[in-house]
Amino acid sequence: MPLLFVLAAFLLVIFAAIVLMPISLVQRYRVGTARRLARRWFATLNIFGIVISAVLFVTGAAITSYWVPAALTYTLGGLTAGASLGLLGLAITKWEPGPRGLYYTPNRWLVLAITLTVTARVLYGVWRSIQAWRSGLSGGSWFVESGLADSLAAGAVVLGYYLVYWIGVRRRIGRRT
């Protein structure tokens, strides 16, 4: 009986995550495009967290490249593309000095493009994994054929974007004070 309860709870959590995904994406977009006060400590904390994430991500991609040859290459390419988007994002961000400090509003179209790219990549990854798993049943390698390198690249784009963006926000705050 306890095993049945654990299995039911596990399935409920997975179902809830799937059902709440569209709401989560809309909220991510709303938060990503909101006007915010630029705070030095917050930008520094974000940079620190993203650097740790990027190092772990690249390390994971390097290890994965043992089984999926293009994983590290795609990850580094994604980081580079994301860094370029981060520079573009900084250039088109609306900056406003205010009485309490510097305010910024990220560009809606760029935030939407990044959100939709990641969403499309996740959906494609699920579909591709199901297809590759089916081919694995016939003797092929589903792991190598699952589009893992592409998924790593999409994740790296997001990391590269936010890393460069937050470094730029931090520098902009530093120049203002």
Residue 134 lies in a domain: yes
Residue 87 lies in a domain: yes
Q: Look at phi and psi of residue 35 and say left if phi exceeds 0, alpha if psi is from -120 to 50, else beta.
A: beta
CA distance 60 to 158: 16
Q: Could you read off the pLDDT tens digit of each residue along the chain, which spans 177 residues?
A: 687 888 888 888 888 887 888 888 888 888 888 899 989 999 999 999 999 999 999 999 999 999 888 899 999 999 999 999 999 999 999 999 988 889 999 999 998 888 887 787 778 777 777 777 776 666 655 555 556 787 888 889 999 999 999 999 999 988 765
Assess contact for 106 and 32: CB atoms under 8 A.
yes
Instruction: Identify the domain containing residue 55 by its residue range.
Output: 40-176
Residue 144 lies in a domain: yes
Residue 47 lies in a domain: yes
Assess contact for 64 and 71: CB atoms under 8 A.
yes
Closest CA to 167 of 35, 50, 29: 50
Residue 16 lies in a domain: no
In this predicted model, what pLDDT tens digit does every residue of 50-72 receive, in sequence order?
A: 999 999 999 999 999 998 888 99
* Size (the chain), residues: 177
Residue 9 lies in a domain: no
Q: What is the number of structural domains in the chain?
A: 1
Assess contact for 86 and 162: CB atoms under 8 A.
yes
Residue 18 lies in a domain: no
Residue 106 lies in a domain: yes
Give the largest Cα separation in the chain, rounded.
Answer: 66
Backbone angles phi, psi at 98, to 5 degrees: -135, 180
Which residues, in sequence order, are bridge partners of residue 105? 94
Cα dihedral: 85, 88, 90, 95 (round 10): -140
Backbone angles phi, psi at 104, to 5 degrees: -140, 150
Taking the whole predicted model, whether its pTM rises above 0.85 is answered as: no
Assess contact for 140 and 17: CB atoms under 8 A.
no
